[in-house]
Structure 1
Amino acid sequence: MSQTVQPRRSTQNAAMAPRPVLRNIQEVLQKEMVREFLAETMSTYVMMLFLLTGAHMNAAVTFANCALGRMPWRKFPIYVLGQFLGSFLAAATTYLLFYGAIEHFAGGDLLVTGSLATANIFATYLPKHMTLWQGFLDEVFLTALLQLGLFAITDKQNNPALQGTEALVIGILVCIIGVSLGMNSGYAINPSRDLPPRFFTFIAGWGKQVFRAGNNWWWVPVVAPLLGSYVGGIVYLGLIHSSIPREPQSSENAEAGDQKITVSSSKVLLTPISTTPASNQPVPPPSDSVPVERF
């Protein structure tokens, strides 16, 4: 009998073995920092594939929110790591999908500069008509506009976008910036969409030229957007957000704050709150109580 029971127990244990593993995975996924990391990874991946941008999905936006005290710094590496991972994976996906076209366009050569260059599919490069510092100021200005617009779209005390339409409005904002002002430097305005794909092209065969081209342009789309987003955030908070009219508290509401509301069957009465300890016996409302509303 013992020989027949033992196999059943081992089979039962084997069937139940995966459950603790799944439970552990679920517990890990329920942690706030893990969810935020995965959200940044997936959203940046999708953003890079469809060429859209939003908040965060952008290391410059994350930096501005941390620098201006809107988000703790301990979340900064988690957000940025998720964004970089999503952007790198999106670059790899794009390369795999268009590998044949890329190979055919340049006759099998992976070029960074020239009329047959394909590295600019993945990252921005300085055009010949601009100097390095002109491109730097261009990226600072465009990212400042982006951050200012993001704060305006999401500011609950101003006139924000309708709930549920924020992503659409932010996408329109990025498109407008790109169409109107993006022809100079390619409007990176986001370290998360420029640096990881550049690393991918370096690994995939374009070589060191992806970092050397344009007088070592690669660092500008990383540093300039950080500075621009901080400047744009300061401009909005200092000049716009701080000047939004606040509704003053009425005197009636202020007086009501120092009184206790007593509800009877016929009216609501306001009774001054006593500073002495409450007794066990109920205190009837005074005769000079002010009626507020009748039912």
Structure 2
Amino acid sequence: MEKKQKKSMRQRCALKHGIFKEFLAEFLGTFVLVLFGCGSVAQTVLSRNTLGEPLTVHIGFSVGLMMAAYVAGGVSGGHVNPAVSLAMVILGKLKIWKFPFYVLAQFLGAFAGAAAVFGLYYDAFMDFTSGILSVTGINATGHIFASYPARHLTVLGGFIDQVVGTGMLVLCILAIIDDGNIGAPKGVEPLAIGLIIMAIGVSMGLNCGYPLNPARDLGPRLFTAVAGWGMEVFSTGNHWWWIPVVGPMVGGVVAAVVYYAFIELHHPRAEPEPTHEVEEEEEEEEEEDDEGNSIKDKYEMITMS
């Protein structure tokens, strides 16, 4: 009786349409990424570096992406990044009509992840800021959730930073999941993808903290705008907000084209096996040839006699 009830519950609650399952997977995966990633930044900032440092932030985002890929990978591919989804569309690995659903799920997941971090550390935020949430200044906390440029960084420099950083992320992801390349053992792909973020973090994090993900940056930024930081989150840094949105999308497309042109295009392809229809036609032709040869032989014997 209990088994029947469990089965009926599963039948009643399980989603039937694939896109809804993929939507939920992308939402939850991006939520996990932002919770671990932004959570590691929050712990570092709010403890005034006593319980965190740059390395722990790198670990937080790396493990966060790895866990996000494990959570969503088997259902949706675990993109958790509009730039990755766009690259998959360009390469024909994701149907274009699914792209808006993936992006919406990723933005909502990132927004929810930021809300969870704020709720988790609400008391610490109030103690650190005395209730005044700001983007700049000695007690700034806006950078916990979204990226902001370093003082030395120009708009062009920031755009290039995001194109190159996201390009390397997507390029390496494509190499890991490419069956025609060395790839990674089945089930280990998320670990390898997490290590990409670690590599990018320790080598390209100086300029703006390697957001590399429009959903991961804009979703939490929108949350801070409505949660008390105000519209300053969009105006700070010469209206920096659009760069970690547009730059990664361009980087994802460039990486997809480069990887396909340099690597994937040149993989040896197995020749398609002939179908049964072709084989039957060849057999019929052989039979006709045999019949023609036998008639010809008989004709030659008659003429010779």
The question of a shared fold, defined as TM-score above 0.5 by the shorter chain, is answered with: yes
CA contact (8 A) 2:90 2:256 kept: no
Separation in structure 2 between the aligned mates of residue 234 and residue 221 of structure 1, nearest angstrom? 20
Q: Which has the higher contact order (CA 8 A, sep 6+)?
A: 2
Aligned match for 1:206, one of 221, 229, 249? 229
CA contact (8 A) 2:27 2:109 kept: yes
Residues 118-176 of structure 1 deviation map (CA, whole Å, 9 limit, x = unaligned):
01000001111111111111000000001100100000011111000011110011111
For residue 283 of structure 2, what is the aligned residue in structure 1? 273
> When the two structures are superposed, what TM-score results if normalisation uses the length of structure 1?
0.75
For residue 22 of structure 2, what is the aligned residue in structure 1? 36
Instruction: Identify the structure with the greater strand proportion.
Output: 1
The amino acid that maps onto 1:47 is L
For residue 139 of structure 1, what is the aligned residue in structure 2? 162
> When the two structures are superposed, what TM-score results if normalisation uses the length of structure 2?
0.73
For residue 97 of structure 1, what is the aligned residue in structure 2? 120
Alpha-carbon distance, 1:99 to partner: 1.0
For residue 205 of structure 2, what is the aligned residue in structure 1? 182
Separation in structure 2 between the aligned mates of residue 81 and residue 24 of structure 1, nearest angstrom? 26
CA contact (8 A) 2:89 2:95 kept: yes
Residues 40-92 of structure 1 deviation map (CA, whole Å, 9 limit, x = unaligned):
01111111112233540001111111133321111011111111111111100
For structure 1, the 5+ residue unaligned runs are 1-19, 261-271, 278-295
The amino acid that maps onto 1:41 is F
Matched, 1:74 2:60: no
Report the structure number with the largest CA radius of gyration: 1
Indicate the SS of the match to 2:181. coil
- Aligned residue runs from structure 1 range 148-187, under 5 A: 148-187=171-210
Matched, 1:88 2:111: yes
RMSD (Å), alpha carbons: 2.7
- Aligned residue runs from structure 1 range 107-122, under 5 A: 107-122=130-145
Residues 197-241 of structure 1 deviation map (CA, whole Å, 9 limit, x = unaligned):
001001110001000000000111110000001001111110122
Residues 236-269 of structure 1 deviation map (CA, whole Å, 9 limit, x = unaligned):
110122233x2776xxx98xx9768xxxxxxxxx
Matched, 1:49 2:45: no
Q: Which moved more, 1:214-223 or 1:234-243?
A: 234-243
Separation in structure 1 between the aligned mates of residue 213 and residue 173 of structure 2, nearest angstrom? 13
Matched, 1:215 2:238: yes
Residues 175-199 of structure 1 deviation map (CA, whole Å, 9 limit, x = unaligned):
1111111221111100110001001
For residue 128 of structure 1, what is the aligned residue in structure 2? 151
Separation in structure 2 between the aligned mates of residue 106 and residue 133 of structure 1, nearest angstrom? 33
Residue 73 to residue 96, structure 1, CA distance change in 2 (3 Å): same
Over the matched positions of the two proteins, sequence identity in percent amounts to: 42
Separation in structure 1 between the aligned mates of residue 21 and residue 210 of structure 2, nearest angstrom? 29
For residue 75 of structure 2, what is the aligned residue in structure 1? none
Q: Which moved more, 1:233-242 or 1:99-108?
A: 99-108
The amino acid that maps onto 1:194 is D
Residue 247 to residue 111, structure 1, CA distance change in 2 (3 Å): closer
